[in-house]
Every structure is written in structure tokens, then in C-alpha cells.
Amino acid sequence: MYKILEAKELASNIYKWVVEAPRCAANCEPGQFVIVRATEDAERIPLTICDYDREKGTVTIVVQVIGEGTYLMSSLKEGDYFHDFVGPLGKPSEFVTEDLESLKNKKILFVAGGLGTAPVYPQVKWLHEHGIAADAIVGAKTKDLVIMEEEMSAVAGNLYITTDDGSYGRSGMVTRVLEDLYAEGKSYDVCVTIGPMIMMKFVCLLTKKLNLHTIVSMNPIMVDGTGMCGACRLKVGDEIKFACVDGPEFDGHLVDFDQAMKRQQMYKTKEGRAYLAAKEGKTHHGGCGNCGGEE
């Protein structure tokens, strides 16, 4: 059992928990995720790590209520417990293993959409702690859905907030802000974008035109989180990858977003899952290492 030390509603149907999980906190890095279950028989939900404190032994997660499992989680308060809290899973951000001196010479931009701000934050914070100032664009549909602005402001070099309806910060999509920054004379060496798949797709289309290397985190398509379900099967260039075991980060210019979004829709129905399993054969799965998904 994993005790909730802090519970907070960040925005409508968006919740944050600080969880006592010392083993996970001692080993996790930015970019990784955990699998959480509210109760013994609840749905297993993969969630990207939003923050961690090794000394206190805590891990912070953020979730948006979109189904039964996340609705059940939303009722948990300070002093309650998660039944399962498994992690860290997935591979850390590539920044963690990069040479620091080389990293300090790079101009880095993060582009977050909606709940994507939560997994972007630990990466920007990690860079800040190592003396590297990265810029960040944070987008939301409206002012009430902007999350973690104060936390992001404390660690980002420059923070650009934008809302689709213009109710707060700049007006328009995150891609418009990126275009504006380049028009103002800004340029970057690498971009990391996390958020809804349709947003990441259009960010990548733009950054390809700008010749800007772009990393995407494919955490939105996870279901099982171990590669066994086949939901996060991706085509990355000429290779088949699984977001939960090979990622979640990939070269955004190589990801087939159209295929990923189509699979995500099909995976919502039993008939669709059966069709994908039959069509993809031994490459439908990838986590066990024995079923051919890695070929």
C-alpha cells in the first residue's frame, strides 16, 4: 500500500497526488512512468512521473479523469492509499545520459499541451538543477485548464503560455507560438513535445520544416504499460517499437502518428483489439521478449 501525502485538484477533472514510494523515488528519472492501481481489483493505469523527491521518498503523479479507473482515483484524498504503485518503467529522457557540457551548449525548447505539462516539468526541472535553462511553451484549451504554471515558471528559462481561446497568455495553438518565436529571431537545437497525439503530430510537421530535431513522448497511447497488450505498438521509421518498453521517447520525425492514432481508436473496442491482434500477428506484443514483438 502506498500512502497519499498530498492530494490536490489542479483544474477541472485534473488531479495531483504526492505518493510515498521510496523505492521508486530512489531510482526514477525524468521521462519514466509508473503503473498505478487505486484498489486491488481496479484498472492498471500507466502515468508519467511528474516529480520526485529522493530524500523524502515521494513521487508525484498527475491524472485527468477520462474513464472508470481514473474516476475511481479522483476520489482518493490525503491519507488514503494506492494499492499498487509500480515503477520506474520505461527509459529515461535522453538528456539524463547526455554529456552535461555538450548539453549546456544546446538551446532546448519544450512544447507541452494540456496534461503534457506534467511530464514536461521534471525534464525542465532536471535541466535547471544542472545549470541548463530551457524554454517552454505550455498550451491549454482555456485559462481554467492551465496547470503547473508556477512550478514551470520557477525552472524554465522563458515560459510562454498560450490558450486556444485566447483567455490567458498568448492566443492560439502551441504551433503558432513556435512560429512566432522563430519569426522573432529565436532558434533551437532540440525540441521535446508532450501532449495529445494530434498536437505532437502538428508540432513535428512544423519542426521538420524548421529542421529542428524533435523528441516526442508517446505515453498517451499506453494501456498495459509492459508491452503485453500491444496497444502502444508504433511504427518508427522502418521499425516496430513499443512505447512502454522501447520508449516512451522517440524521434518525432520518424513516428507514424496517423497509424498510432488509428490504432488508439480501434483499441477501444473488443472487436478492434481482436482485429489488430490478428492483423499484426507476432509483432502485436513486445514486452515479454518471447512473442516476436521485438523482431
Kindly report, residue by residue over 73-132, the tens digit of the pLDDT. 888 999 999 998 988 888 899 888 888 888 999 999 999 998 899 999 999 999 999 999
Report the predicted TM-score, pTM, of the whole model to 2 decimal places. 0.84
> Residue 232: what pLDDT?
75
Q: Does the domain at residues 2-89 carry the CATH identifier 2.40.30.10?
A: yes
Q: How far apart are CA 162 and CA 144, in angstroms?
A: 12
Which 3 state secondary structure label does DSSP give 287?
A: coil
CB 236 within 8 A of CB 256: yes
The per-residue pLDDT for range 217-262, each reduced to its tens digit, is: 987 556 666 666 667 778 889 888 888 788 888 999 999 888 887 8
Q: Looking at this protein, which amino acid is placed at residue 166? A: G
What number is the average pLDDT over the span 267-293? 51
The answer for residues whose C-beta is within 8 angstroms of residue 101's C-beta and 6 or more apart is none
The CATH architecture assigned to 94-217 reads 3-Layer(aba) Sandwich (3.40)
Q: At what angle do helices 197-209 and 257-266 cross, to 10 degrees?
A: 170
Q: How far apart are CA 234 and CA 250, in angstroms?
A: 10
Q: Is the pLDDT of residue 275 over 50?
A: no
CA 269-116-246 angle, 5° bins: 65
Picking from 76-85, 155-164, 285-294, which range would have the lowest pLDDT averaged per residue? 285-294
Boundaries of every domain in the chain: 2-89, 94-217, 221-247+254-295
